[in-house]
Amino acid sequence: MADARARGLGRAVIFLGPPGAGKGTQAKQIAKHYGVPHLSTGDMFRELVARDTPLGKRAKPIMDRGDLVPDDIVLEMVAERVSRPDTARGFVLDGFPRTLPQAEKLDEILQARSWGQPLVVHFVVDPGQLVRRLTGRRICSVGGEIYNIYDQPPKVEGRCDNDGGPLIHRADDREEVIVERLAAYQEQTRPLVDYYRSQGVLVDVDGMQPPTTVTAKVLEILERGQETHSSPPESSAAANQVSQRYER
Ligand code: AMP
């Protein structure tokens, strides 16, 4: 691990997948392992909303509905964040890009830094499991630790095991908003799977496994480093089920 922290990631790593696929949980672990920033656009927006900034005021109603924030806002925020010195040894992107224009802009940013292509880890999870994960998700308001009241409950109800902080239930983790978020994923973000797969930089990971198993798998992929594989376009029952259930 010390070795990994010394090396960093040396590239941009994108965690791609629907809401509830485990991107945030995994991004935290992986970023810590390599000592690089975990850049979650969702977290950035939630912070702006909490601080009641002008941008936060614009984003809040959109997030509450489960829609995507317009690209220009997201791109300005991300371009500023990745220009900071702490990203020099690589970074993990969680929740970005979510549209084709965002992916294209990211390509430009990486090219301008003379970085190679990003490595994309695609988390594949059954749709039924996504709803269960999102409705059951509770997040520590102090340290950001993620729990699930069904599958991974805290020792004391409503309190974080690590720091005793109160656990919160995200407003957009209610079922009616979840349906919108999954539809937004299907329509606007899912095409990125094909975009990156056709470039040969995408690796599928079975996100149905226990979190520690998924982390081990992702580490293995990242340690293989530049070696990426492009598997056939996803035609699994799970993917088809997602489209059937959440297309508007
Ligand atoms: P997340 O925490 O990644 O599920 O994001 C929460 C919400 O923030 C999303 O439902 C969107 O409204 C907004 N958001 C986060 N990242 C993006 C992005 N890359 N593009 C557009 N909207 C985003």
Would you say the CB of residue 16 lies under 6 angstroms from ligand 1?
A: no
pLDDT in tens, 24-38: 999 999 999 999 999
Task: Give percent of the chain above pLDDT 90.
Answer: 80
Nearest of 32, 28, 34 to residue 42 by alpha carbon: 28
> Which pLDDT score, from 0 to 100, does residue 244 have?
40
Per CATH, which fold does 2-125+189-246 belong to?
A: Rossmann fold (3.40.50)
What sign has the CA pseudo-torsion 69, 76, 20, 52? negative
According to the model, what pLDDT value does residue 242 have?
Answer: 39
% residues pLDDT > 70 (the chain): 90
Quote the mean pLDDT of the chain: 89
Opening angle at CA 13, ends 9 and 17, nearest 5:
150
- Convert the pLDDT of each residue in 114-130 to its tens digit: 898 999 999 999 988 99
For 184-225, write each residue's pLDDT tens digit.
Answer: 999 999 999 999 999 999 999 999 999 999 999 999 999 986
Which residue pairs from 169-176 have beta carbons closer than 8 angstroms and sit at least 24 positions apart in sequence? Answer: 169/137, 169/138, 170/137, 170/139, 171/64, 172/63, 172/64, 172/66, 173/134, 173/135, 173/137, 174/135, 175/131, 175/135
Whole-prediction pTM: 0.89
Decide if 181 is catalytic: yes
Pick the residue whose CA is nearest to atom 2 on ligand 1.
42
User: Is the C-beta atom of 74 inside 6 A of ligand 1?
Assistant: yes
Q: Domain locations in the chain?
A: 2-125+189-246
State yes or no: pLDDT of 21 exceeds 70: yes
Determine if ligand 1 sits within 6 Å of the CB of residue 100: no
Q: Say yes or no to pLDDT of 91 above 50.
A: yes
Q: What is the per-residue pLDDT for 248? A: 39
Amino acid 231: pLDDT: 44
Radius of gyration of the chain (CA): 17
Q: What is the pLDDT of residues 99-111, one digit of tens each?
A: 999 999 999 999 9
Task: Point out the catalytic residue in the list 11, 46, 98, 138.
Answer: 98
Q: Is the pLDDT of residue 243 over 50?
A: no
pLDDT tens-digit readout, 44-72: 999 999 999 999 999 999 999 999 999 99
pLDDT attached to residue 1:
64
pLDDT of residue 183: 96
Distance 3 CA to ligand 1 centre (A): 33
Does the annotation mark 137 as catalytic?
A: yes
pLDDT given at position 6 = 76
pLDDT in tens, 133-151: 999 999 999 998 899 999 8
- pLDDT at 135 (0 to 100): 94
Closest ligand 1 atom to Cα of 184 = 10
Q: What is the mean pLDDT of residues 153-171?
A: 95
Quick one: which atom of ligand 1 is closest to the CA of 102?
A: 19
Confidence of residue 3 (pLDDT cuts 50, 70, 90): confident
